[in-house]
Chain A
Amino acid sequence: MSTVLETRNLSKRFGGFFASSNVSLDIKQGARHALIGPNGAGKTTLINLLTGFLEPTSGEVFLKGDNVTRLSQHQRVKRGLVRTFQINRLFAEMTVLESVTLSVCERMGLGWKWWRPVGAHTAAIDEAAELLSTLRLLDVAHAPTRSLAYGRQRMIEIALALAAKPEVLLLDEPAAGVPTDESRGLFETIARLPREVTILLIEHDMDLVFRFAERISVLVGGALLTEDVPEVIARDPRVREVYLGTSLDD
C-alpha cells in the first residue's frame, strides 16, 4: 500500500528541550495507526507539527507525496489532513448543527460567500444533518453546544473534523474525559469510519489502543522508540520498561 503521511527527521526544540527529535514516521493509506508513549513523550507535539500548528525546528512532513512542511494549517486541511484536539475546541455559542454546517461550508469552499444566507446553502446543511445522524447527534442538533454533556461535546469535536472530509484523520485522545461506557460507543463510531480515511490515534487507554490499532508507534522523550504490529509491541521488553508499573495486557 502507498504511503499517505510521512515525516523525515522531524524535530522541535523549545529552548534546550527537544519535544520531538528526529521522528521519521511512515503511515500507509487506510492505516489504523496508534501513537503511544508516557506523558510528556511528545505525542501532541508531533500532531501539532504534522498539522502545522507548530513549525518544526528541522525536518519535513509529506502528505500524499507532497512536501507540506511550509504550508499553513488550513492549507493542510484543504489537502485532507485533519485533526481533533485533546481538549475540546468548539463553538460554544453555536448550535450543534450550526457548528458542523460551518465546518462543511469551509470544506465546500463557501467561507467567502457573503450574499446568500447559510440557510439557503441547503446542500451544506443537509450534509451536516446527515453527519449528525450517523454520529447520533441529531436529537441535539438545535441545542447550543455549551449546553451538552462532555461526552456529547467530545462527539462534536470529532464531527467538526469529519465534516472536513479528511483523508488522514489525527485523533488526539478522543476519549479523554469521556465516561468509560460512552467511550466504547465513541470508539465504535471511529472504527466504523470507511477505510479511505487513514487514522492516526493518540490514546492512553491501552485496552482501546490494542483493540483498534493495526500498527503502533511508541514515542519516548520525543523520539521514536519502536514501531510494529500490536502483538510485537505488547511483548517488547523496552516498551514494558517505559510503561513500568502499567501492564499492557489488561
Chain B
Amino acid sequence: MSSNLAAPPATPANGFDPGPLRNAARWHRAEYAFWVLPVLAYFVFAENLSLLSQIAIAALFCLSLDLILGYAGIVSLGHAAFFGVGAYTAGLLAKHGWGDPLLGLGAAAAIAAATGFITSFLVLRGSDLTRLMVTLGVAVMFYEAANKLTAFTGGVDGLQGVEVKPIFGVFGFDLYGKTAYWYSLIVLFIMFCLARRLVHSPFGLSLRGIRQNLTRMPAIGAPVNGRLVAAYTIGAAYAGVAGALLTQTTQFVSLDVLSFSRSAELLLILVLGGTGRLYGALIGTMVFMTAHHFLSGINPQYWQFWLGAALVLVVLFARDGIMGMLQRLHAAGRKAP
C-alpha cells in the first residue's frame, strides 16, 4: 500500500530524524491483524452473514461521518440524508432495469456527492449548534419528501421490486448472503483504503488543521471554505455508497434510511468508537451492531435504555471513545515493564 515510503529516510546532517512524520502513513501490524477479522468472521459466523453485511455497510456509513466530523470538524445530525439518497438512487435504478450493482454504486456516489456539494454551502458558516440544526433540518426535508413522493419511493411502504443483477454478470446475490457479504466487505475495504490515503495526505492534514484551529487556516493561506465543501461532498459520496450497498444487499429500500434516528445513532456510534481515527468508526460499528444484535434480541427496550446510559457515561467520562481507551491502554502497557 505504501511501499514508496518503506525506504529508510535520509537523515539530515544535523542528526534530526523526520521519520515519525515520514512514516506516519505506513500500515501498522495491528491494522493487518484487524482486517483479518472480517475474513475469519465469514467462516466462524457463517449463519450470521446478513448481520455481518449489515456491520460492513454501517461501518462504511460511519466512516463517512468520521471524514466530515472527525477530520473536517463539521457536526451533523442529518447525515442519513446522503445515505438515503444513495439508497434510493440504487433502488430506483435497479427497479427500472439498471440493476448492475457497480453502476448503482457509482450513480449513488455521484448523486449523493452532488447533494452533499449543494447542501455543503449551508454548513460552511455558523456554530456547531447552527450546523446541527441545519443538517437536521435538511435531513427531515428529505425524509418528508420521500414520504410524500409515494409514486417514486413507495412512501412508508418502502420501495419494492428492486432487482439487482449479478456482480460483473457473474456473482449473483445468493440466499445465504455470501455474495452480499464479500461484496460489502470489499467495497468497505477499498473505500477505507481511499479514506486512509486521504486523511494522511496534505489535504487530510489541512482538514485536521481546520478542525483544530479554523481561524488560523486562512492565515497560512488555506482556502477553508473550499476544503470544507470538498470534505462534505466526499463524506456525502461515501454515505451514498453505503446506502446503495444496503439497497443492493437487501433488495429493498425502507423509508427509515432517511430517519432522524439513523443520523442520531450514527453520530452515537462514531462517538462511542472515537472520532478522527477511521478505526474508531469501524470498531465502534462492530461493537455497537454486535451488542445491538444480541441485546435487542433479549428485549429492545432494555437495549435502548443501556444505549442511552452508555452515551451519557461516554460523554461524561470517556470522551475519546473505545479507540481512546485502547490507545491509553496501549500507552500504559508500554510504560509498564
Contacts and interface: CB of A to CB of B under 8 A. Distances in A.
Do chains A and B directly touch (beta carbons under 8 Å) in the complex?
yes
B216 A121 contact: no
A97 interface: yes
B22 A119 contact: yes
B219 A83 contact: yes
A80 B201 CA distance: 25
Contact of B21 (A114, A119, A163): A119
A99 B219 CA distance: 13
Interface in A66-99: 72-74, 77-78, 82-83, 85, 89-95, 97-99
A101 interface: yes
A118 B24 contact: yes
A170 to B, nearest CB: 10
What size tier do the contact residues of chain A reach?
35 or more
Nearest to A83: B219
A124 B22 CA distance: 11
B18 A117 contact: no
B20 interface: yes
Given A102-B209, A117-B200, A118-B202, A111 B227 contact: yes
B10, B22, B206, B221 — most chain A CB neighbours (10 Å): B221
Interface string A87-131: 001111111011101110111001111111111111011100100
A202 to B, nearest CB: 15
Given A119-B21, A133-B14, A113 B212 contact: no
B203 A98 contact: no
B221 to A, nearest CB: 4
B206 A119 contact: no
B212 A141 contact: no
Contacts of B201: 113-118
Contact of A111 (B4, B16, B203, B208): B203
A160 B218 CA distance: 12
Interface of B: 2, 4-5, 10, 12, 14, 16, 18, 20-25, 197-198, 200-206, 208-209, 212-213, 215-224, 227, 230
10 contacts: A53-B218, A53-B219, A74-B221, A102-B205, A107-B220, A114-B202, A117-B2, A117-B200, A119-B200, A120-B25
Closest 5 CB pairs of A and B: A117-B25, A73-B218, A77-B221, A114-B203, A89-B216
